[in-house]
Structure 1
Amino acid sequence: MFKHLPKLAIAFSAVAAAEIASLAIAPSASAFSVNSDWVEFGLNDINQSFIVDFDGNVATQNVIGLSSQATFTFKGFTTVGTGTATKTEAKFDISLTNNSSDGITSRTSALGFNVYEAMYSDKLALVGVGNDGGSGNTRSTGLFAKDNSGSFPNQFGAIDVCFTDGNTCQGGSNGGVDNNSATSQAQTGTFTATLAVNGNIDKIALANFGVRYQSISGKGLNGASGTGRGDINYGPRKIPEPTTTAALGLVALSGLALRKRNKAVPQT
C-alpha cells in the first residue's frame, strides 16, 4: 500500500509549488479601486492611503523641477442629519509636499480635484463649497483654511473643489508649502479635507487632481505662477519575499528527489 506514497508526495509538492508560486507573482491586494487617474473608496477602506505626484507648468509650458506630492488618507464616512436633511461627509487627511528641485523654488498654494459617485460614474454635488465650515458643509482645517470651486489657470480647467488660503482657485494667496529655505513656509504641510454631499453614500471617487503654484523662480522665471497635474502613484506589484523564494526552491528540490527515489527503489 505504501508504493503510491512517492507519487502522492510528488503530487502534493507540485500543488504546493503552484500555490506558493501564485502567491509570489500575485499583485498586492489594493483595498480600494485605483489607476493613474482615478481612486475610489468604500466603507471598508478607512485609513487606506494613496499618493499623487504633480508636475508643473508655467503658461502651459512644462517646467522641469517644478513638482509636488500629496498623500491622501481616507478617514471614513459620517452621516449628518436625518430624513430628507441627511448628508454624508467623507473625510481625508492630506499631507502636501513641495518637492521642487533642479534650481526651481516655488510655493504650492492650492490643491484641488473632482468628486464622483464612483469610478467612471456621475459627479457628486458638494454641499457648502465656499461657505463657512461646520457640520454638513465641505470644509478644510489645517494648512488650508478655505475651500472653493472654479478652475485652475494655464488651461488646466474646471475642478469641483480646491483647498487654499485664497478666495478663489484662480487667485493668489500667501499660504501653502514652499521649498525655498529663505522663506518661513514649511516644505510639507497637512490638512483635513471634509467633503459633504446630500443623502447617504457608501462610495466616493476622486479624479482630475491639480495644484496651483506661485512664487516660482529659477531657470529664467522670477515670481511666476503656474499649475500642475496629478498622476496617482498606487505602488508596484508584490515582490516575493526571500522566504517565499526559498520555499519554492525547497519544494522543487524535494519533488525532484522523490522522483529519483521512485525510479531507484523497485516497487513490489
Structure 2
Amino acid sequence: MASLFLLGRRLFPRRSDFLRTVNAPRQLSSSRSSNKKHVNGVDLFYEQTGGGKHVVLLLPGALGSSRTDFGPQLEALNKEVFTVVGWDPRGYGRSRPPDRDFPPDFFERDAKDAVDLMKVLGFGRFSLLGWSDGGITALIAAARNPDRINKMVVWGSNAFVSQEDLKLYNMVRDVSKWSARMRRPMEETYGDQGFAELWASWVDGISQFVHRPEGSICMELLPLISCSTLIVHGEKDPMVPGFHPQYLHKHIKGSRLQLMPEGKHNLHLKYAEQFNKLVEDFLEE
C-alpha cells in the first residue's frame, strides 16, 4: 500500500492547503482573473495573474487543473516580472464538457489547444512550465511552435513509455486502493465513479504508447526543440524513473538538467519556494 500511496502522487499534491484549492472561490486572489475561451470547438477554462512582460503558461498533469496543480505558482511567481496563465485541458477540471477521451494523438491535441488558447488571449510569445503529462504537452508544443516559445521548464515528464513505466501505471489503476485523502480532491471534481472511470481511461491512454516503436510519445520531436530548456527531476520521484530526464537532457539540444535529491513527483508543491526561485532565475536569464 505504501508504494501505491507514493505512486499516486503523479496526480495529487501532498499538503492539505493545496488540496483545498480545488474548491477555492474565484476571489482567492484579487489579482487573479478567470474565464473561458472557445478554442478548437471547446470552451477552455483559464486563470491569469500578474502583469509582467514575460508570459508563462502552466500545463497541469493527468486529470489536473490550474488550481489543483499550480496553486503556489499562481500565487507566488513574481507578478511584476511575469504574466502567468494556468489552464484546464479539454475534459479536465472546468474545461468540461466535453468528457475527456484519450485518442492516440491526445498529447498533440492538448499541445495545439494550449498554443491556440494563448493565441486567442493575444500572447504572441510565451514560456512553458509543464508538469508530468503537462510536460509532455509542453515538449510537443515547443517542437511544433519554435517561433512562439521563449523558454521551457519540464519536470516529472517522459518522451516514451517503457515496460517499467507500464508496471507503475498498472499498480495505481484501481483507485479504490488509494487512501480517502488522495481520492477526495478528484472525486469532488469528477464524482466518485467519474473519477475512477476517468483515471482508468488515463491509464489505458498512456499505456497505448508502449505499442509504438520504442514506446515513443514524442521522441522524434525532441531534436526540433530550439528554446532554452530546463529539465528538473526529483530523485525520489516514484512515477518517473531517472532514465527519463536523462533521455530528455541528451536529446534536447543545449538543455540543462537540475536534480533535486529529496524531490518526488510533486516537487513544485512540496518545495514550492525553492522550485519557484529556480524557475524565476532561469526565465529571467
Normalized per residue, the structure richer in helix is: 2
Larger strand proportion of the pair: 1
Q: TM-score, normalised by structure 1?
A: 0.26
Max Rg structure: 1
* TM score, norm. by length of structure 2: 0.25
